[in-house]
Amino acid sequence: MNKFNVLSLLEESASKYPERIVFKDKDEEISYSNLKTVASRTGLWIRERAGLCDGEKNKPVAVFVDRNIKSLLLFMSVVYSGNFYVPIDATLPKQRIDLIIETLNPVLMLSATKRKLTVENVIPFSETPAGSKNYDEQESLLEEEVLALKKVRRTGIDTDPLYAIFTSGTTGVPKGVLVAHRSVLDLVNRFTEVFPFPEYPIFGNQAPFDFDVSVKDIYNALFMGGTVVVIPKAYFVMPSSLLPYLKENKVNTLVWAVSALRIVQNFKLFEACIPDDLKLIMFSGEVMPIKCLKYLKEYLPQVTYVNLYGPTEITCNCNYYIVDREFEDTQNLPLGEAFENSEVFLQDTETLKRITEPEKLGEICVKGTCLALGYYNNPEQTAKAFVQDPDVSAYQDLIYKTGDLGKYDEEGNLYYVSRKDFQIKHMGHRIELSEIEVVVNALDEVHMACCTYKESEELISLYYSSQSECDALVRSAIKEKLPAFMMPGKIQWMEALPLNEHAKIDRRKLAAL
């Protein structure tokens, strides 16, 4: 069957395995058939609450998420309503949440978290039909509900947006990457073709729901009739319960950030518990240290390990490498090959020609159904990153420029080398250093500000100049406006920042400090 809405994934699995658990967290769980019923009913309620007329669709619905299945239930409800969901982390500073809401102008805001919110007019989960009674006590859909749902679905096409995920933006305004149904359908088809998933996959979900890594857990599970077990965030902070929880839930598949797997290695967690149901471990987000991979393989030799590469703008990943040999500690894992139906190539940053020869540095560019629809309500940034393929002039053909620099080796394997700009990956988070600079520069007291990143120490350093030292002021400004992971580890006052011959801040000199 030709699917064009992700809900078909849920519905097919619901007819095959109605009683199977689809989502589970520490407190509760829901079966496929109950999810279908509850999300359908809540979807219709969303349309009503948002005051949408017949035929209206593709409106943003904000969902304040937490580490629970209520968040996932609300996502599915939004999809049933014919709109797209926008996960928002309730612990972000108020100013950042306000910026996101301003960009979105959502038709409705829902909350799956018990946290106190800084925004008004958010409807708590308990006031939605999904929260009105236990999932298994909900009566089946009425005939009129089924008809109304059919009507909504009939208007949907596969280029309709499914979700928007906000990420750090260089200008100080976060960018909402908008992804269509067809990109996620493409992703699950490619994943199940190339990776040896267990017959009944049980995903141990680590990724927060406002990160696109979690998209892979959710939709691959829906496609294969699998289960997503949401792991409490605290287990990654105090990890003594982490592996026992995986074992207890018979988790066999992990799609984790490299930084999360490093927690397992750093704290030598296998000494206390080996979750031996694991069959498949995929990782992404930053370069996997070989030392960490070796540690995993030593205790879990039966597992297939996959290195995944790609930014949010191309729907999770465009390249994969199934680890098929041993590596030295000093080597890097290749990015491997492109998924079918995605074209990945290196572009010379000067001539904009495609690079095919080995060892030559170029920007990694991607093309295909995986491309996001752009940044929501931000045509300028969209036009900068999603551009016409310079080799094609007779028709419109977009590529996404990742800003990552890569190269091929003699065998034609693609490797990540560095960034073209000042975007960094810090503890699994994607950060534009200039976004921190914008916040600090906005202070009247500050003359100049510049951030550097030392990868070996995982340290963000901020250098600023002003009349006199005002670290506390700088720190509170950052805390007020930016997520906690963007707080520099080192803040250094200077009378004046070093300048280079072009009278620009000498980043190289600062980086060497």
Applying CB under 8 A, does 259 fall inside the site for other proteins? yes
Q: Which stretch binds other proteins (CB under 8 A): 37-45, 210-218, 222-230, 266-274?
A: 266-274
Q: Provide, rounded to whole angstroms, the least separation between the CB of residue 87 and other proteins.
A: 18
**CA-CA-CA-CA dihedral for 28, 31, 37, 41, to nearest 10:** 20
Q: Which distant-in-sequence residues (6+ apart) come within 8 Å of 414 by Cβ?
A: 319, 334, 335, 336, 337, 344, 346, 364, 406, 407, 408
In whole angstroms, what is the distance from residue 468 CA to residue 470 CA?
A: 6
Applying CB under 8 A, does 487 fall inside the site for other proteins? yes
Considering only residues 238 to 257 of the shown chain, the ones binding other proteins according to CB under 8 A are 238-240
Q: Which stretch binds other proteins (CB under 8 A): 184-192, 235-243, 281-289, 321-329?
A: 235-243
Kindly report the CA angle at 414 between 353 and 455, in degrees rounded to 5? Answer: 105
Report the largest interatomic distance among the alpha carbons of the chain, rounded to a whole angstrom: 74
CB atoms closer than 10 angstroms to residue 331: 10
Applying CB under 8 A, does 469 fall inside the site for other proteins? no
Applying CB under 8 A, does 271 fall inside the site for other proteins? yes
Applying CB under 8 A, does 427 fall inside the site for other proteins? yes
Nearer to other proteins, 117 or 487 (CB): 487
**DSSP-assigned beta bridge partners for residue 368:** 342
Q: Provide, rounded to whole angstroms, the least separation between the CB of residue 487 and other proteins.
A: 6
Contact (CB, 8 A) for 208 and 214? yes
Considering only residues 70 to 109 of the shown chain, the ones binding other proteins according to CB under 8 A are 91
Count of chain residues binding other proteins (CB under 8 A)? 28
Nearer to other proteins, 4 or 493 (CB): 493
Displacement of CA 236 from its chain's centroid (Å): 18
Applying CB under 8 A, does 479 fall inside the site for other proteins? yes
Q: Which distant-in-sequence residues (6+ apart) come within 8 Å of 150 by Cβ?
A: none
Q: Which stretch binds other proteins (CB under 8 A): 31-39, 163-171, 352-360, 476-484?
A: 476-484
Q: Provide, rounded to whole angstroms, the least separation between the CB of residue 268 and other proteins.
A: 7
Q: What is the DSSP code string of 98-137? A: HHHHHHH--SEEEE---SPPSSSSPEEGGGSHHHHS-GGG
Q: Provide, rounded to whole angstroms, the least separation between the CB of residue 479 and other proteins.
A: 6
Applying CB under 8 A, does 171 fall inside the site for other proteins? no
Nearer to other proteins, 221 or 269 (CB): 269
Contact (CB, 8 A) for 61 and 110? yes
Displacement of CA 228 from its chain's centroid (Å): 16
Exactly one of 93, 189, 208, 267 binds other proteins (CB under 8 A); that residue is 267
Applying CB under 8 A, does 394 fall inside the site for other proteins? no
Where does this chain bind other proteins (CB under 8 A)? Answer: 91, 233-234, 236-240, 259-260, 262-263, 266-269, 271-272, 427, 458, 475-476, 479, 484-485, 487, 489, 491
